[in-house]
Amino acid sequence: MECPGQNSSLGNHTPLVEFILVGFSDVPNLQGFLFAVFLIIYVFILSGNSLIIMITKVDSSLQTPMYFFLRNFLLLEICYVSVTVPRLLADLCRQYGNISLLACAIQMYFFLILSGTECFILSAMAYDRYVAICNPLLYPVIMNDKLCGQLAVACWSMAIPIHTFLISVVFSSTFCGCNQLNHFFCDAPPVVQLVCGDAFRVEMVLYMITALVASIPSFLIVASYVKIVSTILKLPSATGRAKAFSTCFSHLTVVTLFFGSGIIVYMKPKSNHSTGMDKFLSLFYSIFTPMLNPIIYCLRNKDVKVALEKLLQKCIVL
């Protein structure tokens, strides 16, 4: 759904005080069905991630750096989807999506901080796999509790100043013309498209921050996996190679889904933005990837499956 005047140079220049999140209002007959689908997905994300966090916390065999970072990652995903999905469910229920500039800024702020944190945690997880596979004898020494704690604090805090600056730039600008966001939450690209005045400056800040937040973790992940693959291919045993690749599969799957869809949406030139396609792609990095995480990390991980079976057996006995 597009407004005439989506382009700020053509629309009327009355400053906006609220946005309308179009969401999925273009399919009114599916509102109830979509509400049920997204509610089920949200409950599954909360329960699935919480279950894996609990399993890896209580099982003594899973008290390793790998599962420490996995717990951080899954906790992050719970916070991440909780920024967008409850609002989406409310809008589907009441069939309108008016949101004030302040509420929009708050939602975007926490979404960007958490997505930036996810980039950094995924790079920390790649570094953990690099040390485990390329320096197995030194792994307990290098990945000690102190370093793991420092990496976790750094991952959770680095995105805050970066995205505080971005939000201040975006929402200190004037919004005018059409106030409809063809999206289901206040994501940065569709909001920036409604900026009038010095819109080019705001777009450049968005591109530069996206490049910074995505490129550094991407480089670290790629560099880690180049070393990992090189080391794995030198292993004499086919079983050893398969096991080493298996420990990396879950992480690589999540990295590909998250970075792939996010970079496409955030780094495309404004003229090439298709709002319908952007909305579809944003479902991947904001909802579908968090939904897949419990499946990926449970079904592909024998240690987690064994720990889950032990927990279920204890529950049955009790």
Does residue 270 surpass a pLDDT of 50? yes
58: confidence class by pLDDT, cuts 50, 70, 90:
confident
What's the CATH code of the domain at 135?
Answer: 1.20.1070.10
Q: Is residue 234 part of a domain?
A: yes
Secondary-structure breakdown of the chain: helix, strand, coil percentages, each rounded to the nearest 5: 75, 5, 20
* 184 and 23 Cβ atoms separated by less than 8 Å: yes
List pLDDT tens digits, range 242-254. 777 777 777 888 8
| Percent of all residues in the chain with a pLDDT value above 70, rounded to a whole number | 90
Q: Is residue 310 part of a domain?
A: yes
SS3 of 180, please?
A: strand
202: amino acid identity, one letter: V
Average pLDDT over residues 228-251: 79
Q: Is residue 88 part of a domain?
A: yes
pLDDT at 300: 63
What is the count of structural domains for the chain?
A: 1
Q: Is residue 1 part of a domain?
A: no
| Percent of all residues in the chain with a pLDDT value above 90, rounded to a whole number | 37
Q: Give the largest Cα separation in the chain, rounded.
A: 69
Q: Where are the beta strands (DSSP E) in the chain?
A: 18-21, 98-100, 174-175, 180-181, 195-196
* 96 and 23 Cβ atoms separated by less than 8 Å: no
Average pLDDT over residues 6-34: 72
Average pLDDT over residues 88-96: 84
Does residue 123 surpass a pLDDT of 80? yes
SS3 of 18, please?
A: strand
Q: Which residue has the higher pLDDT, 212 or 251?
A: 212
Could you tell me the residue range of the domain that residue 112 belongs to?
Answer: 27-317
List pLDDT tens digits, range 148-168. 999 999 999 999 999 999 999
Burial 126-164 (b: 16+ CB within 10 A, else e): bbbbbbbbeeeeebeeebeeeebeebbeebbebbeeebe
Report the relative pairing of strands 174-175 and 195-196 from DSSP bridges. Answer: antiparallel
pLDDT at 263: 78
Q: Is residue 161 part of a domain?
A: yes
Q: Is residue 10 part of a domain?
A: no
DSSP run (H or E) holding 305: helix 302-317
Q: Is residue 9 part of a domain?
A: no
Q: Is residue 3 part of a domain?
A: no
Mean pLDDT taken over the chain: 84
